[in-house]
Amino acid sequence: MQMKYKYVLYGKPLPLLRPRTSFIKRLIYDPQKIEKEQAQQQLRLQHKTRPVIHQPIHLEVTFFMPPPTSMTKTKKAFLYKSPHFKKPDLSNLIKFIEDVAQGIIFQDDSRIISINAKKLYDEHPRTEFTIHKDNE
């Protein structure tokens, strides 16, 4: 029997950024600390009291990207649900999801054995993802 858990992160999908260096204080810091904490809070509320997954999992994720603000409403309407092929790139968007879900939904991102991902335009920016785990 396969278990399926669905999650939604509301807001514009974010790519994972590299750590930054402060030359003045000679520190390395995370420029997305606040965004990660907000996403983790959303995931904790949706995951509730389910245990952290230790088995191999399959990840299906859809990133709903906002249309360009310069477009008219008519052009935006035609754009919805069509593929988004501009920056940010898909791999960095996936890395952000793996990073914020680690320790809340699954033990480690090494548990992910397959990923199915896509980017689409939508008027309501968000990230929807589903975790499939096999119960053996």
Residue 56 CB partners (closer than 8 Å, separation 6+): 111, 112, 113, 133, 134
Most confident of 1-5, 24-28, 43-47, 75-79: 43-47
Sheet holding 2-10, edge to edge: 2-10, 126-134, 57-65, 112-121
Contact 94, 30 (CB under 8 A): no
pLDDT of amino acid 135: 63
Per-residue pLDDT tens digits for 17-61 = 877 777 776 787 777 788 989 999 999 999 998 999 999 999 999
Domain ranges of the chain: 2-134
pTM equals 0.88
Round to whole Å and give the CA distance between 30 and 122. Answer: 29
Query: CATH 3.90.1150.10: does it fit domain 2-134?
Result: no
